[in-house]
Amino acid sequence: MRIQFVLMSAAVLLAGCSHGETTVEPVFIPASPSSLENAVHETQTQKRETSGVSLTAEYPVYAPDVLQISFLLENHSDGDLTYGLDSRLEYYSQGNWEPVPLKSDAVNSVGFMLPPGESYAVTINTLSYNWDWREGEYRLVQPVSTTKDDQTLYAEFSIGESNISGSAPYGFMKLDDIPTPYPREQSDKDGVIYNFHGKIQSNEDKILEFFQKVEYQFPAMIRIESVTREGDPIYTDIVYHPEKTAFCCFFDSTRDKFGSEKQITSAWYPFFQTEVINGELGLVLSEWKSPQEGREDSVNHLPFYLSQERKEEFLQANQKIQEKYNLNPLIQRTFSPSGERWAAVLDKENIVIQLPGKGYTVSIGDKEVAYLNWQDESVLEMWDNNSQFWAYDTREEKFTGQTAVCGLPQAPKS
């Protein structure tokens, strides 16, 4: 997807120190050629403009405690579409559309451009509004400009009874709340991808829909149920966070009666790709642009293969993925345990570090970094190919004495 406008989150815009400003481009996973109808629910009240641009709510109904609501902005015109952050929310009351007040009147004047044939997600945070989110009809109002004229787009939705809520923003119940047993008929209805001993038995299309939502920068999630040899369920949740341009993977083995560790663990990955193993097509989450070159402890091969009938469809998506990853300069990108900090190997001699609200680069001179590893929430280990590492305190912005080699490189000066 060709993004020509600046739409970078604080997680990927790095404010440089003495090395100047550093910008790390986000990686977008392209969708399959399938229609978006399965990924975004069209509403009867959607306003589609004759000029070929439209705005659609992701779901028709949200629960009153929902925390974020996303909309798909599509440009099917023959020219660029420009828009800003000047959208507003309205509530239908007694025959009129009334404004929903924001907690702050400040409006960011940043402008964005969406090329012809492209689509992108616009997401609002409900906590930004001074509103009780009562049940009723709402709409997002988005002014836009095309090469032909200025116009206003509307996307209507409702607040009411819905499985899209604050506790279940993607429509899935919490892992702790999954019943045992969980009938297949119900899990299929809930959109769970069922993996039986390495083969997807149901809802494989949800993976392609997930890719598509990621392309458009929707917050999105898939849930996979795998079955052990003894028949016990193991759940894997993969959640995409556009603000981090990364995936958080949750692994739940609490129902594995014969497993040694019954717990829910999580890990962050910036890359989600397809891979071919012995002619079979699988999926892999990784810290590495090229998983084959990365360390196995930072690569997560999902325990199933995709169907041969849809192999070509996924391969086409994979080709687009590789094209976009090749544009990304990062070799490895790794997150701290909380996911609030990340570091990346820009090249063998420069490391990019991103903290909440602050980012900088570290030059290590004539040393070469092979890979990174977080020792804890603040200390980053920079390893070379000789099993030696330098420990770097990302909060203090300095190398510490806890290192396996002599001759510490110098930290950057702010």
Burial of 218 (C-beta count, 10 Å sphere; 0-12/13-18/19+): buried
Residues 252 and 394 in one domain: no
CA distances from residue 413 to 17, 18, 20, 398 in whole angstroms, order as listed: 7, 6, 11, 9
pLDDT digits (tens, 9 = 90+) for 348-396: 788 999 999 999 999 887 778 889 999 999 999 999 888 888 899 999 9
Asked whether residue 182 carries a pLDDT value surpassing 60, the answer given is: yes
Asked whether residue 413 carries a pLDDT value surpassing 50, the answer given is: no
* pLDDT average, residue stretch 99-106: 89
CATH number of the domain bearing residue 1? 2.20.25
Which residue type does 368 have?
E
Give the count of domains, the chain. 3
Q: Residue 8: its pLDDT value, please?
A: 32
Kindly report the average pLDDT of the chain as a whole number: 83
Residue 72: inside a domain = yes
Name the DSSP letter for residue 30.
P
Q: Residue 12: its pLDDT value, please?
A: 33
Residues 190 and 286 in one domain: yes
Q: Residue 327: its pLDDT value, please?
A: 53
Asked whether residue 411 carries a pLDDT value surpassing 60, the answer given is: no
Residues 5 and 88 in one domain: no
Residues 311 and 179 in one domain: yes
- Which region among 91-100, 183-192, 198-207, 394-403 has the lowest average model confidence (pLDDT)? 394-403
pLDDT digits (tens, 9 = 90+) for 135-175: 999 999 999 999 889 999 999 999 999 999 999 999 999 99
Asked whether residue 22 carries a pLDDT value surpassing 70, the answer given is: no
Q: If we measure between CA atoms, which residue out of 75, 72, 68 comes closest to residue 155? A: 72
Residue 135: inside a domain = yes
More confident of the two residues 20 and 410: 410
Residues 222 and 352 in one domain: no
CA distances from residue 196 to 179, 222, 226, 251, 310 in whole angstroms, order as listed: 19, 16, 6, 17, 17
Residues 2 and 112 in one domain: no
Give me the count of residues in the chain: 414
User: Cα 185 from chain centroid?
Assistant: 29
> In the structure, what pLDDT confidence band is assigned to residue 96 with cuts at 50, 70 and 90?
very high
Q: If we measure between CA atoms, which residue out of 137, 50, 122 comes closest to residue 86? A: 122
Half-sphere exposure of 328 (CA within 13 A, CB side): 25
Helix extents (H) in 281-336:
311-325
Report angle CA 77, 113, 37 to the nearest 5 degrees.
55
Residues 316 and 335 in one domain: no
Q: Residue 181: its pLDDT value, please?
A: 93
Q: Residue 321: its pLDDT value, please?
A: 55
Asked whether residue 240 carries a pLDDT value surpassing 70, the answer given is: yes
> In the structure, what pLDDT confidence band is assigned to residue 80 with cuts at 50, 70 and 90?
very high
**221: number of Cβ within 10 Å:** 22
- For 271-281, letters b (16+ CB in 10 Å) and e give bbbbbeeeeeb
Q: Residue 47: its pLDDT value, please?
A: 44
What are the start-end ranges of the E strands in 220-365?
220-227, 233-241, 246-252, 264-269, 271-277, 280-286, 299-305, 332-335, 342-347, 350-355, 358-363
Q: Residue 261: its pLDDT value, please?
A: 84
Residue 377: inside a domain = yes
Listed in sequence order, the residues at least 6 apart from 191 whose beta carbon sits closer than 8 Å to its beta carbon are 171, 172, 203, 206, 223
Collapsing DSSP to helix, strand or coil, 39 comes out as coil
Residues 211 and 136 in one domain: no
Domain boundary among 96, 129, 159: 159
Q: Residue 175: its pLDDT value, please?
A: 97
- Contact present, 259 and 265 (Cβ < 8 Å): no
- Contact present, 73 and 48 (Cβ < 8 Å): no
Round to whole Å and give the CA distance between 280 and 270: 23
SS percent in the chain: helix, strand, coil, step 5: 10, 40, 50
CATH number of the domain bearing residue 116? 2.60.40
Q: If we measure between CA atoms, which residue out of 210, 341, 352 comes closest to residue 283? A: 210
Q: Residue 320: its pLDDT value, please?
A: 63
Residue 167: inside a domain = no
Collapsing DSSP to helix, strand or coil, 393 comes out as strand
Q: Residue 394: its pLDDT value, please?
A: 95
pLDDT digits (tens, 9 = 90+) for 276-292: 888 899 999 999 988 88
CA distances from residue 334 to 229, 300, 353, 402 in whole angstroms, order as listed: 33, 13, 10, 20
Domain residues for 253? 175-325
Asked whether residue 121 carries a pLDDT value surpassing 50, the answer given is: yes
Residues 19 and 76 in one domain: no
Q: Residue 414: its pLDDT value, please?
A: 40
Residues 44 and 81 in one domain: yes
Q: 43-52, 71-80, 398-407: which has the highest mean pLDDT?
A: 71-80
Q: Residue 317: its pLDDT value, please?
A: 72
Q: Residue 322: its pLDDT value, please?
A: 61
- Contact present, 412 and 397 (Cβ < 8 Å): yes
More confident of the two residues 412 and 244: 244
Round to whole Å and give the CA distance between 333 and 75: 32
Domain boundary among 128, 159, 190: 159
Which residue type does 173 have?
M
> In the structure, what pLDDT confidence band is assigned to residue 273 with cuts at 50, 70 and 90?
confident
The string of DSSP codes covering 65-92 is T--EEEEEEEE-SSS-EEEES--EEEEE
